[in-house]
């Protein structure tokens, strides 16, 4: 099962849309392991990281500590994250192909019907329930720069909405 998280209620079918990352219109989905990265409002900038097969013990200790994963947001987004209501749509995986295994990204080039939806009224609780540590930072850029140089798996989402470095 794959997922699509939205702030929009009542979606019954996802239609392919243009994307800057794929040549043709697609429906985006995320796997269960990386669902934690999307339990914030869509436009919230975030840096997420977790250990991969090639992650070094030193990087794991330095950036993750005892956490399985980190989702870092800017403090300025705290209230919006705390107060958001999200809809986690379950999607069948038959028409999807993996675009990025490390990030857990999947795409479908055809419309996809919804198999179910869960209302997420407590996004922070849902994120913490997925064994992720939520970090509130004044700015994301130093962490972004460090994680890119590390051996960790990561996903950096909506950084165009982050405060300037």
pTM: 0.93
Whether residue 59 is contained in a domain is answered as yes
Whether residue 40 is contained in a domain is answered as yes
Q: Is 77 left (phi over 0), alpha (psi -120 to 50) or beta?
A: alpha
Range of the domain at 152: 2-159
Whether residue 113 is contained in a domain is answered as yes
Whether residue 153 is contained in a domain is answered as yes
pLDDT band at 165 (very low <50, low <70, confident <90, very high): confident
Whether residue 165 is contained in a domain is answered as no
Total domain count for the chain?
1
pLDDT band at 20 (very low <50, low <70, confident <90, very high): confident
Phi and psi at residue 58, to the nearest 5°: -65, -45
**Under DSSP, is residue 54 helix (H, G, I), strand (E, B) or coil?**
coil
- 27-85 tens-digit pLDDT: 999 999 999 999 999 999 999 999 999 999 999 999 999 999 999 999 999 999 999 99
pLDDT band at 7 (very low <50, low <70, confident <90, very high): very high
Q: Is 50 left (phi over 0), alpha (psi -120 to 50) or beta?
A: beta
Whether residue 145 is contained in a domain is answered as yes
Whether residue 101 is contained in a domain is answered as yes
> Given the structure tokens 């702030």, which residue do they identify?
7
Q: CB atoms < 10 A from the CB of 11, how many?
A: 13
pLDDT band at 102 (very low <50, low <70, confident <90, very high): confident
Whether residue 164 is contained in a domain is answered as no
> How many whole angstroms separate alpha carbon 62 and alpha carbon 150?
10
């Amino acid at each position: 099962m794959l997922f699509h998280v939205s702030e929009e209620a009542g979606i019954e079918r996802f239609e392919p849309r243009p994307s800057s990352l794929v040549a043709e219109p697609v429906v985006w989905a995320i796997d269960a392991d990386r669902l934690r990265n999307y339990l914030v409002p869509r436009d919230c900038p975030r840096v997420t990281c977790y250990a991969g097969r090639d992650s070094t013990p030193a990087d794991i200790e330095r950036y993750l500590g005892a956490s399985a994963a980190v989702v870092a947001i800017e403090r300025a987004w705290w209230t919006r994250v705390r107060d958001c209501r999200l809809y986690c749509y379950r999607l069948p995986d038959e028409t999807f192909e993996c675009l990025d295994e490390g990030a857990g990204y999947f795409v479908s080039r055809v419309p996809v019907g919804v198999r179910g939806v869960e209302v997420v009224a407590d996004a922070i609780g849902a994120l913490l329930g997925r064994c992720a540590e939520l970090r509130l930072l004044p700015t994301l850029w130093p962490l972004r720069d460090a994680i890119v140089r590390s051996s960790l798996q990561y996903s950096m989402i909506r950084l165009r909405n982050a405060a300037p470095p």
